Amino acid sequence: AKAMTPEMELYFLCDAGKAQPRLERCLARKPDINKPNEMGVTALMFACASWSVPFVSRLLEEKADPNAEDRNGARALNIVNDLIAQWESDAELEREDCRKRRLAMEVTGTILWDR
């Protein structure tokens, strides 16, 4: 089996966003921190997508380029902004669903306030 390159290991670790000691061991192997994968995604982008603040901070300490762009022109901050927008949208859909279910229960008498 072919050994994993330091860059591939870095992508894998940052995508998971866990195991800080493994990240440190990987960084000790001196991977090219800004080398993109075949889609143009960097380790910093993977760490941002996994919401791993410790990994993002550590990569920035190692001079990861926050302005690197993937093949679609997205940067690490774009990924974070997109994830926040998706989270907010999902939260709004959940709130609306809760309002509808509550209204349905009130109309059908499932919720009885007078008891």
CA 39 to chain centre: 16
Over 80: is that where the pLDDT of 115 sits?
Answer: no
Q: Which CATH architecture has domain 6-89?
A: Alpha Horseshoe (1.25)
Q: What is the pLDDT of residues 65-82, one digit of tens each?
A: 999 999 999 999 999 888
Give the span between the Cα atoms of 52 and 50, in whole angstroms: 5
Distances (CA, A) of 87 to 15, 46, 68, 93, 97: 18, 17, 24, 10, 15
9-26 pLDDT, tens digit each: 999 999 998 899 999 999
**pLDDT recorded at residue 114:** 53
Above pLDDT 70, what percent of the chain? 93
Break the chain into its structural domains and give their ranges.
6-89
Q: pTM higher than 0.85 for the full model?
A: no
